[in-house]
Homo-oligomer: A and B are copies of this chain.
Amino acid sequence: MTAHTLIERLAAAVGPSGLVTDPRDLEPYLVDWRGVYRGAAPAVARPANTSEVEAVVKICAETCTPLVPQGGNTGMCGASVPDATGRQVVLSLARMGRVLELDALNNTISVEAGCVLANIQQAALEADRLFPLALGAEGSCQIGGNLSTNAGGVNVLRYGNTRDLVLGLEVVLPDGRVWNGMRSLRKDNTGYDLKHLFVGAEGTLGVITAAVLKLFPRPRTTATAWAAVPSPEAALALLALIREQCGERISAFEILSRNCLDLVLRHIPGARDPLSRSHGWYVLADLADTREGATLRAELEQALEAGLEHHLVSDVAIAASQSQAQALWRLRETIPEAARAEPGMLYRHDISVAVSRVPTFIAEARQALEARFPGTDIICFGHLGDGNLHYNAFVPGRNRSDAAAREASDVTEVVYDIVQRFRGSFSAEHGIGRAKLAEMRRYKSEVEIGLMRGVKQALDPQGIMNPGKVL
């Protein structure tokens, strides 16, 4: 089939307003938000409902046309961007953005895949519920992308990853048939759990078109503390102490090194150090309780006082208001922005290890990097409560405008080799996309890759679903 007839068929399936072919209009679909990955496509199909997705996928299946599902295009690994061949059709879910149903008594919300995350959060709030997935891109990312990448974010410690928030899915399979798994059940043991195959598959096994998600009681009281700690070991011991005293009220526990704060103070207008003196490490901890009138601030103070007594804490600032809490969180959340404002080349690593091994990992990785690249500046921050660190490094003499430096994998290999020794993950929350294919080959066992390929082959024998990603 010629490209011309393909486009005619796609236009017939989604209507002329559902198909983008003009090069100027195509542009935003062909490049990721950071401008790192760029590709080409003959067209972007923007179906308005599941039947139209079915029709598009059927045309692609019949014509062996590769398809790239795309949500908000806010990913970090390029999974939603087509390759350079110009053969891959982009399937944008952006027009499928409706909340389908909210069942407050069942604590579930059903949404189309193109629903923007913030809209789901808002719909939940309006029903006096919480949808806990929260991350930087929430104003533009779509739930279909969150599901396909099993997004993490700041509430994983308490509520889990996106995978843990889903009860049901609707998926258009690579042959164009629909799997209707839109169940809103807390318990269902009738055969293999298919939804977990599609969550985190980055669109390589099918197109998620809708989902049933879990809601939770809305927290009514919160407390936030910024604590200076002498070391990552102390931070870890403080986490155990707060858990011991406050149990599952703890909803976030972040760690950052002093140079992260320095970056923020240097580049982010209005940022100020919450403490009068400089310290090596900080933690940012949130407690939340669903009960009105809970005494969270007192509980947090008590736990931190115990931390001071045991020399786990050097100094502390507890937010006295919501706006103070927001200011503390802003120091944590603007680290990536501040790092982008630095001139050097930042090698980024989204890694995880067992929570108990984070301090040893930090020490060993630092030692290895400094031995190999003397003068390296390590920008280490992340979700200590999940064992997930953004362990990033500025290497002297490497410039981000230098393509060779950008593509060099010598720095990341030093870090990932240690991650591997710790039985950790070289992609804790960002996924694989096209960014980490080399790591898949280097670090995954043959058995594991073989299993994944077997599943891929079983579901997508033609290999048309987002080829060149993940595997």
A interface residues (Cβ-Cβ under 8 A, vs B) = 103-108, 149-150, 152, 156-157, 160-161, 163-164, 173, 177-194, 196-197, 199-201, 205, 216-217, 219, 236, 240, 243-249, 289-291, 299, 352-357, 383, 385-388, 423-432, 436, 439-440, 443-445, 447-449, 451-452, 454-459, 470-471
Contact = CB atoms under 8 A, between A and B. Distances in A.
A454 B448 contact: no
A105 B423 contact: no
B452 A192 contact: yes
Contacts of A180: 445, 447
A83 B44 CA distance: 53
A186 B352 contact: yes
A333 to B, nearest CB: 18
Contacts of A103: 354, 356
A121 B111 CA distance: 38
Given A179-B451, A184-B423, A455-B455, 19 more contacts: A150-B189, A173-B451, A179-B445, A183-B425, A185-B387, A186-B385, A190-B425, A190-B426, A190-B432, A192-B201, A193-B196, A194-B448, A196-B196, A197-B197, A217-B247, A247-B291, A248-B290, A454-B459, A455-B458
A190 B427 contact: yes
Nearest to A190: B427
Please give me the 9 A-B residue pairs with the lowest Cβ-Cβ distance, nearest first.
A247-B290, A196-B196, A105-B356, A188-B425, A458-B458, A454-B458, A187-B428, A106-B356, A186-B386
Nearest to A236: B105
Contacts of A428: 185, 187-189
Contact of A149 (B189, B248, B439, B447): B189
A423 B431 CA distance: 32
A164 B447 CA distance: 24
Contacts of A424: 185
Counting chain B CB atoms within 10 Å of each CB, the highest count among A164, A186, A444 belongs to A186
A78 to B, nearest CB: 14
Nearest to A158: B248
Contact of A448 (B179, B245, B425, B445): B179
A425 B185 contact: yes
Given A352-B187, A387-B186, A164 B161 contact: no
10 contacts: A104-B240, A152-B189, A178-B447, A186-B352, A187-B425, A189-B200, A189-B430, A190-B426, A451-B459, A454-B458
A106 B190 contact: no
Contacts of A299: 291
A457 B447 CA distance: 17
